[in-house]
Amino acid sequence: MPTEVRINLPTGELVGLPVHESSRSIGEMKDYYWDEVARQKLDPGTLVYRVQALQPVPEGTEGGLFFGTTFIEPGLVGDEYFMTKGHFHRNRDRSEYYITVAGAGALILMDESRRTSFELMQPGSIHYIRAHTAHRVANTGDSVLAFVACWPSDSGHDYGSIATKGFSARLRTIAGVPTLVEEP
């Protein structure tokens, strides 16, 4: 049970069982970055991020909560920061909290009319992700970005519209500054 699991507060690492672990490599993120040629030049095995999650009830259970830590490596694909895939919740009216533990980054938010904005992430920053809002995190620093998240066990993940249409803007480094650039 999750009561046997502890969080290492300085790093965000969850220690104990049962913790569900998953990861995404560069090779698993085809077409997520605007510069697909740059992505293909990187070693496909390169780790982009990993997620540890506590799922004390089955996925889809109404009224439960999941909790997890995401660790995003520092890096660039072309001039776009390493980032999560990003998703809407399958149940669109479900919201979520992200809290930054370590590193520096940005939470990119897009509403259903494809209006995009971002919030800077730094240790201690609390981010409330409203319902009906797609969310993605980019690591803008030079160390691992770790953040914890808490979301309803019946929110689900809808990656489909992100995989096909993406976000309407991307976080790119321009003269060393994280800049939200609208898609053409």
Binding segment for ligand M6P among 84-92, 99-107, 113-121, 165-173 (CB under 6 A)? 84-92
The mark string for 131-170 relative to ligand M6P (x by CB under 6 A, - otherwise) is ------------------x-x-----x-------------
* Minimum gap (Å) between residue 176 Cβ and ligand M6P: 26
**Residue from the set 32, 33, 70, 170 that interacts with ligand M6P by CB under 6 A:** 70
Cβ atoms of residues 121 and 100 within 8 Å: yes
Q: Measured between alpha carbons, how far is 76 from 171 in angstroms, rounded to an integer?
A: 11
**Minimal CA–CA distance to 140: which of 100, 181, 82?**
82
- Note whether 68 binds ligand M6P by CB under 6 A: yes
Cβ atoms of residues 22 and 49 within 8 Å: no
- Note whether 100 binds ligand M6P by CB under 6 A: no
Q: Six-digit token pair at 48?
A: 């982009």
Binding segment for ligand M6P among 9-17, 82-90, 117-125, 173-181 (CB under 6 A)? 82-90
**Residue from the set 26, 39, 80, 84 that interacts with ligand M6P by CB under 6 A:** 84
Choose between 85 and 132: whose C-beta lies nearer to ligand M6P.
Answer: 85
**Minimal CA–CA distance to 27: which of 44, 12, 10, 40?**
44
> Sign of the C-alpha dihedral, residues 80, 29, 18, 88?
positive
